[in-house]
Amino acid sequence: MEPADLDNTILKCQGLTKNFGGVLAINNLDLEVQKGKITAIIGPNGSGKTTFFNLVMHLYDATSGQVVFGTENTNLLELPTHSINRVGLARTFQTLRLFLNLTVLENVLIGMSSQLNSGFGAALIKPKWAREEDKLAEEKALEILSLFGSRLISMCNEPASSLSYANRRRMEIARCVASQPKLILLDEPVAGMNPTETREVIKDIQKIHEAGHTILLIEHDMTLVEGVAEHVFAFDHGSKIAEGQFKEVSNHPAVVEAYLGKQALKQ
């Protein structure tokens, strides 16, 4: 297992536990995510991966433990849910959450809302400084869309409803990037995609990482995990059962057992 770089830790969980009426969804979890890396979480269905994301974003209250973020050592579990984005986290969901009646560009601009200074009054009156801010935001949004090649930027003025499923996934990721986060959480970014689309999204995620973003992702598709992840955590029944590089983790006996059962270890 690779040693953690304590000076470069962007997210640290200690003793994180979540009970749902007697069901232990997250069990005394300790883990650290390193800044500047693509980190993946794998595990069978029901292993606690999405529950972990929901705790980090404070959509759930933890039963015990803490989630510390950034150089300021902010305990995310002490913040109101609506403040999580402002401290530098952005997240996608397994189920797409888009404004299909708005254009692709407008969807990405919504991702920037927490970074803009203009409020409701400025939006109505539109003083010069607000117009300049809007112009800069639009330029930045187009720059973000260009990370995905021509797929999104060529459709920037089209309604989001006109996009293919794979491009809607890309747009949701673009909206995350638009909030200028310190850490991006991607929940199964290639769910429902065919192998060709998966390979394309692998390249998209690599481009986002090369642009300077730290990424933590949940994924069942091992092609993606092997293709992008520099560090991997494996979960089972709410516990971390292995961590390290992909090959090391995927061959770990506890991981093989979690996916295939004890019988697989005897073969």
Q: Does the pLDDT value for residue 233 go beyond 90?
A: yes
CA distance 124 to 113: 15
| Separation of alpha carbons 86 and 200, rounded Å | 30
Q: How confident is the model at residue 136 (pLDDT cuts 50, 70, 90)?
A: confident
pLDDT at 265 over 60: no
Question: What residue spans in the chain does CATH classification 3.40.50.300 cover?
Answer: 1-88+182-267, 99-180
Q: Is 68 exposed, middle or buried (0-12, 13-18, 19+ CB in 10 A)?
A: middle
Secondary structure of residue 220 in the 3-state scheme: coil
What is the spatial distance between Cα 236 and Cα 240, in angstroms, rounded to a whole number?
Answer: 7
DSSP characters for 44-84? -TTSSHHHHHHHHTTSS--SEEEEEETTTTEEGGGS-GGGT
Give the dihedral sign, CA 155/92/247/206: positive
pLDDT in tens, 101-132: 999 999 999 888 766 555 544 444 456 656 77
pLDDT at 121: 42
How far, in Å, CA of 31 to CA of 11, rounded? 8
Q: Which two tokens stand for residue 49?
A: 């991966």
Map 95-164 to HEC letters: CCCCCCCCEHHHHHHHHCHHHCCCCHHHHHHCCHHHHHHHHHHHHHHHHHHHHHCHHHHCCCCCEHHHCC
Residue of 217, 145, 136, 132 whose CA lies nearest to 177: 145
Question: pLDDT value at position 266?
Answer: 54
Rounded average pLDDT over 71-100: 90
Q: What are the two backbone dihedrals, phi and then psi, of residue 69, each rounded to the nearest 5 degrees?
A: -130, 135
Task: Note the pLDDT of residue 137.
Answer: 87
What CATH code is assigned to 99-180?
3.40.50.300
CA 83 to chain centre: 17
Q: How confident is the prediction for the chain on average, in pLDDT?
A: 89
Could you tell me what percent of the chain has a pLDDT over 70? 88
Could you tell me the end-to-end alpha-carbon distance of the chain, in angstroms, rounded to an integer?
25
What is the arithmetic mean of pLDDT over 45-57?
96
**Model confidence at 61, in pLDDT bands (50, 70, 90)?**
very high
Overall average pLDDT of the 222-239 stretch:
96
Is a pLDDT exceeding 90 seen at residue 133?
A: no
Query: CATH number of the domain at 1-88+182-267, out of 3.40.50.170, 3.30.460.10, 3.40.50.300, 1.10.10.1100?
Result: 3.40.50.300
For residue 154, pLDDT beyond 90: yes
Q: Which residue has the higher pLDDT, 47 or 71?
A: 47
